[in-house]
Homo-oligomer: A and B are copies of this chain.
Amino acid sequence: MNMRDIARRAGVSSATVSRVINGSPLVREKTAARVRKILEDVKFIPNPSATTLKYGRSKTYGLVIPDITNPFYAEFLGIFEELMTEIDHEVLVTVSESPEKLEKNVRRMLMRQVDGVVFMGSEFDTEKVDALFRHRIPLVTVDRRVAEEGCSDVAVDFNAGYLEAVRHLCLLGHQRLGFIGGIEGLKTSADRLKAFRKAVEAADLVYREELVTGGDYRIAGGEQALFTLMKSRIKPTAILTANDMTAFGAVRGLHRLGLSVPGDVSVIGLDDVLMAEVLQPALTTIRIPRRRLADECLKALNYTKEDVDRKGRCFTVKPELKVRESTGPVGVAKRSKRV
Interface hub of A50, A93, A104, A260 (most chain B Cβ within 10 A): A93
> Nearest Cβ distance between residue A50 and chain B, in whole angstroms?
6
Interface residues on A, range: 35 or more
Q: Check if B78 sits within 8 Å of A68, measured CB to CB.
A: yes
Q: B278 touching A255 by the CB < 8 A rule?
A: no
A291 to chain B, nearest CB (A): 14
* Assembled-state Cα–Cα distance A275/B218 (Å): 11
CA distance A58 to B53 in the complex (A): 13
A335 to chain B, nearest CB (A): 6
Answer whether residue A146 sits at the interface, using C-beta atoms and an 8 A cutoff.
Answer: no
Interface residues of A in 235-284 (CB under 8 A from B): 248-249, 251-252, 255, 258, 260, 274-275, 278-280
User: How near does chain B come to A308, taking the closest CB pair, in angstroms?
Assistant: 18
In the complex the two chains form, is A53's CB within 8 Å of B49's CB? Answer: yes
CB pair B52–A49 under 8 Å, yes or no, is yes
Minimal Cβ-Cβ distance residue in B for A52? B49
CA distance A182 to B75 in the complex (A): 22
A271–chain B nearest beta-carbon distance, Å: 14
Determine if A95 and B68 form an interchain contact, defined as CB atoms under 8 angstroms apart.
Answer: no
Given contacts A252-B278, A252-B280, 13 further A-B contacts (CB under 8 A): A45-B110, A45-B111, A48-B111, A50-B53, A53-B53, A71-B74, A90-B92, A91-B93, A251-B280, A255-B280, A260-B338, A335-B336, A335-B339
Residue of B nearest to A245 (CB): B278
Question: If A74-B71, A74-B74, A78-B95 touch, does A47 touch B43 (CB 8 Å cutoff)?
Answer: no
- 8 A Cβ contacts from A93-150 to B: 93, 95, 104, 107-108, 110-113, 131
Complex-state Cα separation, A258 to B336, whole angstroms: 11
Nearest Cβ in chain B — how far from A26, in angstroms? 25
Cβ–Cβ contact B52 & A255, under 8 A = no
Residues in chain B near residue A58, CB distance under 8 A: 49
Can you list 7 A-B contacts with CB-CB less than 8 angstroms, sorted by A residue number?
A45-B110, A50-B53, A71-B74, A74-B74, A252-B278, A335-B336, A336-B339
B335-A335 in contact (CB<8A): no
A69 within 8 A of B: yes
Distance of A336 from chain B, by nearest CB (Å): 4
Instruction: Report chain B residues within 8 Å CB of A258.
Output: 338-339
Asked whether, in the complex, the Cβ of A104 is within 8 Å of the Cβ of B81, the reply is: no
A20 at the interface (CB under 8 A from B): no
What residues of B have a CB within 8 angstroms of the CB of A74 in the complex?
Answer: 68-69, 71, 74, 77
Cβ distance A299 to chain B, nearest Cβ, rounded Å: 23
The yes or no answer to A321 lying at the interface (CB within 8 A) is: no
Q: How far is the CA of A238 from the CA of B206 in the complex (A)?
A: 49
- Looking at the assembled complex, report how far the CB atom of A110 sits from the nearest CB atom of chain B, in whole angstroms: 5
CA distance A53 to B49 in the complex (A): 6
Q: Are B68 and A85 in contact (CB under 8 A)?
A: no
